[in-house]
Amino acid sequence: MSMNKELVEPTMGKENGNVVVLDFWASPYAMRTKIALREKGVEFEVQEEDLWNKSELLLKSNPVHKKVPVLIHNNTSIPESLVQVQYIDETWTEAASFFPTDPQSRATARFWTDFADKTISFEGGKKIWGNKKGEEQEKGKKEFIESLKILEAELGDKSYFGGETFGYVDIALVPFYSWFYALEKCGDFSVEAECPNIVAWGKRCVERNSVAASLPESEKVYQQVLKLRQIFGVE
């Protein structure tokens, strides 16, 4: 299941029809899709959305959720980031799979991705940045740190969640690493002090071209979060 990015030439998208991602640069969910495409060496076009004035294409291609990211491939639109990551894995099979082969390890990967998705989420983070200092924010921090510690325990001293190979859980979780700095600044805490292995894992993931190219600078995310705090009336 090794994913040597050097071996995969970014030409598969062209061979397999046009690939477009309806994107918002700070969306951790959209980052998953871009990482997955880059891991597979698929060329794609990014169409940046204004989330306060969504395009007709976004509304038409994701009528149920009306959310980014949407993956458009050969004029078929696929919503929902984890559905997209699995679709990408099953469509571009020339590159290594994001999943191990045995059913038990696959179940483990799905379990932890589901756990990460439900806890280390935009909504989870919003309990920290979306509140002023006080009881609600403390509750949000506590939940966030507790969940991250469960993931830290699962990671242990492995390189990636699946072992030596970057895979499904890593793709699903690492986008949130780019939001840690903003959460730390808003919540006045240190993720590294609480979960040193998770931070070391995040740094390791960012060494991959696919992740580095898909994650924005932490400072830029923080500035975006400050804007969100104004929009949501936090400050």
- Name residue 122's amino acid: F
- Minimal distance, residue 220 CB to its own copies, in Å: 30
Residue with tokens 């898909």, as numbered in its chain: 214
Distance, CA of 72 to chain centre: 18
- Minimal distance, residue 228 CB to its own copies, in Å: 23
Burial of 77 (0-12, 13-18, 19+ CB in 10 A): middle
- Minimal distance, residue 54 CB to its own copies, in Å: 19
- Minimal distance, residue 82 CB to its own copies, in Å: 8
Considering the complex, state which of residue 26 and residue 78 has its C-beta at the smaller distance from its own copies.
78
Considering the complex, state which of residue 148 and residue 182 has its C-beta at the smaller distance from its own copies.
148
| Cβ-proximal residues to 176 (8 Å cutoff; 6+ apart), any chain | 28, 116, 120, 121, 125
- Summarize as ranges the residues that interact with its own copies (CB under 8 A): 64, 76, 78-80, 82-84, 86-87, 90-91, 103-104, 106-107, 110-111, 114-115, 150
Taking the C-alpha atoms of residue 50 and residue 160, their distance in angstroms, rounded to an integer, is: 34
- Minimal distance, residue 15 CB to its own copies, in Å: 15
Considering the complex, state which of residue 78 and residue 148 has its C-beta at the smaller distance from its own copies.
78
- Minimal distance, residue 142 CB to its own copies, in Å: 17
Report H helices in 93-208: 103-119, 122-129, 135-155, 168-173, 180-187, 191-194, 196-206
Considering the complex, state which of residue 87 and residue 189 has its C-beta at the smaller distance from its own copies.
87
Considering the complex, state which of residue 51 and residue 83 has its C-beta at the smaller distance from its own copies.
83
- Name residue 54's amino acid: K
**How many H-runs (helices) and E-runs (strands) does the chain carry?**
13, 4
Burial of 50 (0-12, 13-18, 19+ CB in 10 A): exposed
Considering the complex, state which of residue 110 and residue 126 has its C-beta at the smaller distance from its own copies.
110
| Three-class SS state of 105 | helix
